[in-house]
């Protein structure tokens, strides 16, 4: 198992946002996490990526506990979260925004020389970084807007740039928070193609969304949350047809 959550719980005062959750993610799969608004999806990704401390429970990465690590350490291990709406430098190009996101990778490569190296980057590293940026932009279907300022990008392209920036950290497990929200059907089809390509390249994906069609088609394994609790886990079809899941989405009347 690449990643495991065991009895994970997060409380905010009296509210239990994530409640005693256990699941695993196999290398190379796409895990889809479903749940209506407020079911604890974003909180779960913030816990995994180390941005929020757990109340109780544990995470294991390649068999080792990673609880209590700082977000940058977790990212350096290969667990990377893309932002729902990335913070872009609007006057910088798609290429430049993506290159900036490469700093983590660069720091890892340069190791202890990282600070001096960062300001006096040697030419070969610069060339390698640029090649990586171009590879990630192409993978995200952004090569045509490589030199456009971020301010000129469509909303869908902005979100895709967020994925390209995440890829610069060389994720083994990429966490995506509602990547399809606000996108039109053509942009969603494009996003699906990109995410399938990533899986083909060996990146494991954990995607949360409330769009059941999009995520149901894409996922190998699905997990449904309601009020922070796991209500179904298994194949996407089974999970989405589970009576508790239907009820969570549509209310008791429709169950």
Q: How far is the CB of 36 from Mg ion (least distance, A)?
A: 10
Helix (H, G, I), strand (E, B) or coil at 196: helix
Size of the site for Mg ion (CB under 5 A): 2
Among the candidate windows 15-23, 38-46, 67-75, 211-219, which touches Mg ion by CB under 5 A?
Answer: 38-46
Applying the rule CB under 5 A, the residues between 177 and 216 that interact with Mg ion are none
Whole-angstrom distance, CA of residue 167 vs CA of residue 177: 15
Determine which residue in the list 2, 5, 17, 163 makes contact with ligand ADP, applying CB under 6 A.
17
Neighbours of 84 (CB within 10 A): 16
Q: Which of 44/145 has CB closer to ligand ADP?
A: 44
Binding to ligand ADP, residues 33-92 (CB under 6 A): 35, 37-43
Q: CA–CA separation, 120 vs 148, rounded Å?
A: 27
Q: Considering the complex, state which of residue 37 and residue 112 has its C-beta at the smaller distance from ligand ADP.
A: 37
Residue 12 binds which of Mg ion, ligand ADP, none (CB < 5-8 A, kind-dependent) = ligand ADP
Per-residue burial over 164-186, b if 16 or more Cβ lie within 10 Å, else e, is bbbbbbbbbbbbbbbbbeebeee
Q: Any alpha helices (H) in 140-184, and if so which ranges?
A: 155-167
Q: Are 155 and 184 in contact (CB under 8 A)?
A: no
227 near Mg ion, judged by CB under 5 A? no
Radius of gyration of the chain (CA): 19
For ligand ADP, which is the closer residue by CB, 31 or 167?
31
What is the rounded distance in angstroms from the CA atom of residue 28 to the CA atom of residue 25?
Answer: 9
| Smallest gap from residue 37 Cβ to ligand ADP (A) | 4
- Closest to ligand ADP by CB, 56 vs 154, is 56
**Where do contacts with Mg ion occur on this chain (CB under 5 A)?**
41-42
Interface contacts to ligand ADP, rule CB under 6 A? 12, 15, 17, 35, 37-43
């Amino acid at each position: 198992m690449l990643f495991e959550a065991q009895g994970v719980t997060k409380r905010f005062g009296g509210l239990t946002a994530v409640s005693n959750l256990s699941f695993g993610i196999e290398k190379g799969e796409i895990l889809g996490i479903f749940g209506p608004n407020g079911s604890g999806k974003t909180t779960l990704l913030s816990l995994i990526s180390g941005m929020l401390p757990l109340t109780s429970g544990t995470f294991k990465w390649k068999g080792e506990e990673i609880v209590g690590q700082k977000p940058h350490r977790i990212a350096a291990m290969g667990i990377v979260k893309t932002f729902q709406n990335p913070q872009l430098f609007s006057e910088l190009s798609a290429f430049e925004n993506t290159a900036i996101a490469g700093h983590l990778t660069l720091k890892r490569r340069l190791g202890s020389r990282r600070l001096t190296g960062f300001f006096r980057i040697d030419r070969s590293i610069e060339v390698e970084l640029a090649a990586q940026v171009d590879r990630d932009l192409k993978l995200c279907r952004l090569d045509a807007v490589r030199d456009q300022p971020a301010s000129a990008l469509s909303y869908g392209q902005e979100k895709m740039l967020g994925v390209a920036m995440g890829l610069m950290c060389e994720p083994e497990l990429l966490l995506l928070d509602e990547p399809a929200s606000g996108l039109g059907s053509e942009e969603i089809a494009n996003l699906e193609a990109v995410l399938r390509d990533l899986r083909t390249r060996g990146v494991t994906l954990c995607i949360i969304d409330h769009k059941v069609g999009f995520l149901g088609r894409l996922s190998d394994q699905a997990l449904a949350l309601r009020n922070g609790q796991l209500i179904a886990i298994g194949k996407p079809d089974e999970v989405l047809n589970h009576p508790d899941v239907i009820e969570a989405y549509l209310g008791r009347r429709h169950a």
